[in-house]
Amino acid sequence: MLQINNENAHKMFSLIMERFDKIDRALERMNKLKECFDGDTLLDNYDLCQLLGITKRTLARYRQKKLVTYYMIDGRTYYKASEVEAFLFQKGKSLPVRFRHQANV
């Protein structure tokens, strides 16, 4: 049976809290990145697939055919909400309010 004394428990909890802090910092960086690209919201592949109701493969075809503009940042693919809105406008659809570009006033 495993016996944990007070000192070992304190070390384990400290290690767990350090890992939570590391995850928290990574999430903060990702959120800042998604919301600060030229003052526009960035959507990732998952966001755009959900928004358009398509699969990842269909989205890859859109990129290949240059129907949507995309940006590669640290090996990940992102799309500007304003450019997605223009794409949807061409197709006769609209972008949900939570993703719309808001001008800095």
**In a shared domain, residues 30 and 43:** no
**In a shared domain, residues 6 and 21:** yes
Range of the domain at 55: 38-105
**Closest by Cα among 38, 17, 41, 20 to 30:** 41
CATH, residue 97? 1.10.1660
**Closest by Cα among 68, 77, 11 to 43:** 77
**Is pLDDT above 50 for 105?**
no
More confident of the two residues 87 and 58: 58
**In a shared domain, residues 55 and 97:** yes
Q: What are the pLDDT digits (tens) for 35-81?
A: 556 678 888 898 899 888 899 999 999 999 999 999 998 888 999 88
User: How high is the pLDDT of residue 70?
Assistant: 94
**In a shared domain, residues 29 and 49:** no
**In a shared domain, residues 53 and 28:** no
Residue 28 exposure: Cα atoms within 13 Å on the Cβ side: 6
**Amino acid in position 46:** Y
**In a shared domain, residues 6 and 55:** no
**In a shared domain, residues 91 and 53:** yes
User: How high is the pLDDT of residue 102?
Assistant: 45
Q: Quick one: which H or E segment has residue 72?
A: strand 71-73
**In a shared domain, residues 55 and 104:** yes
Quick one: CA torsion of 83, 96, 72, 49, rounded to 10 degrees?
-120
Contact 59, 101 (CB under 8 A): no
Q: Could you give the number of structural domains in the chain?
A: 2
Residues 6+ apart with CB under 8 A from 51: 43, 84, 95, 96, 99
User: How high is the pLDDT of residue 56?
Assistant: 95
Q: What are the pLDDT digits (tens) for 1-25?
A: 567 788 888 888 899 999 888 888 7
